[in-house]
Amino acid sequence: MRKLLVVGAGGHGRSVAEAVLAGGSFSLAGFLDDAYPQLARVWDVPVLGPVSDFAQWRETADCAVVAIGNNAVRKTITEELRMAGFEIPVVIHPRALVSPSAVIGAGAVVMAGAVVGTEAHLGEGAIVNCGAVIDHDCRVGNYGHLGVNAAMAGSSVLGAFAIMQAGSALGYGIKTADGFVLAPGMALGR
């Protein structure tokens, strides 16, 4: 079984780690988090060191995923991990529903209860939080982020680095600009 390093041990990092454990495709090698050394363990999994120490753990882990909510930080660290030789996998919670025709980029995470529909495309490093819905033919740009219960109707597009906060929605065919932020509960439609 491949060993996975989770970068970030905060709330999102622990949620990603639970998805990894539930999925059974990887074993957890450990976490990296800047709260180290005060934070030494999460459950029975060690926090191995600060984020900047990732290169020294290359022999310990084959793969790494960045579980940090900040889109720009997630991109930067993902690129550094890739250059250091880590494989950047996709993490999908086993209780998510993902269409077999969906395309999901490296480093993306799809959490429990999320739905990714027919021929949807998720860019590299995208986050699809619990209960979020991405309908058919939607596009999520690289490092886009759907919060809890966010919804994208068919053929809508969330730009790169854009964020849909909890409960926000995009109507059919609506497109957002890169970096756009939808407030909680905000809906865009025609």
pTM above the 0.85 mark? yes
Whether 138 contacts 154, CB under 8 Å: yes
pLDDT in tens, 34-57: 999 999 999 999 999 999 999 999
pLDDT in tens, 117-161: 999 999 999 999 999 999 999 999 999 999 999 999 999 999 999
